[in-house]
Structure 1
Amino acid sequence: MLISHVVTVTVPVSDQDRALAFYTGALGFEVRSDNPFPMGRWLTVAPKAAESSLLLASWFPGMAPIGGLVLAAPDVDALAERLREDGVEVQGPTDEPWGRQLLFQDPFGNGFVAAGG
């Protein structure tokens, strides 16, 4: 085996403080690292039990938003309610052959699917 797992996924953001507030507030992620970096700061967040993290990177101004990152959500309906309370536009939840899911974007246009129960 050459690669064992994904460590970090880079998510382009234009404002790291605003991104941090969204990911820790609306999604309940925890900060994994927040350190000085030659191009800004190395800021990673993740769900508490996750092995991989999201790098909230502001130093790629031409990088297009990502889409289709799938997050596991044990209670999709509760997540939808929380996101809506935080002013996030949510599509769903809907019942799909693989379970319930919802779609949403972060404040920077990065698209996510939350799937689960």
Structure 2
Amino acid sequence: MPVSHVQLFSVPVTDQDRARDFYVDVLGFELIDDQRMGPAMRWVRVRPPGAETAITLVTWFDSMPAGSVRGLVLETPDLEESARRLEEHGVTIEGGVQQAPWGRYVQFTDPDGNGLILQASTPGGSRFDA
């Protein structure tokens, strides 16, 4: 069973408008879709510019309560600038910039409490080199 890439994954939220605005306006993602799926559901899909993998911002999975995602890792070429921008938008950086053998990172949450990590990997670094 060959798998070529991750197409999309779902992040559970309580308010799709608020989540869309956070991922697009604060994180700089591009909005791919925002359309109705019947009378009670909306398909809201975002992704980092140029990325293959998209995120759907969902409200309809009972088994996925809003805020239950942990460890969504996003890469940035400029951690300080990205962290500064997050803070300008009122996002709390938990623990400040942290150092690891594979690079530097910050941790924060989206408006629903989903846990995100923004990292700048060290060129040639590996998470498993310690």
Q: Distance in 1 between matches of 2:50 and 2:120?
A: 16
Q: Distance in 1 between matches of 2:47 and 2:60?
A: 20
Instruction: State whether structure 2 residue 70 is matched by structure 1 residue 67.
Output: yes
Instruction: State whether structure 2 residue 47 is matched by structure 1 residue 9.
Output: no
Partner of 2:51: 50
Partner of 1:101: 105
Instruction: State whether structure 2 residue 89 is matched by structure 1 residue 86.
Output: yes
User: 1:5 is matched by which residue type in structure 2?
Assistant: H
TM-score by length of 2: 0.84
CA RMSD of aligned residues (A): 1.4
Q: Secondary structure of 2:55's partner?
A: strand
What are structure 2's unaligned runs of at least 5 residues?
Answer: 122-130
Partner of 1:116: 120
Instruction: State whether structure 2 residue 27 is matched by structure 1 residue 27.
Output: yes
Q: Distance in 2 between matches of 1:95 and 1:2?
A: 35
Alignment deviations for residues 85-117 of structure 1 (CA, whole Å, 9 cap, x no partner): 111111221221111101010000110111115
* Identity between Structure 1 and Structure 2 (%): 44
Length, aligned pairs only? 117
Name which one, 1 or 2, has greater alpha-carbon Rg. Answer: 2
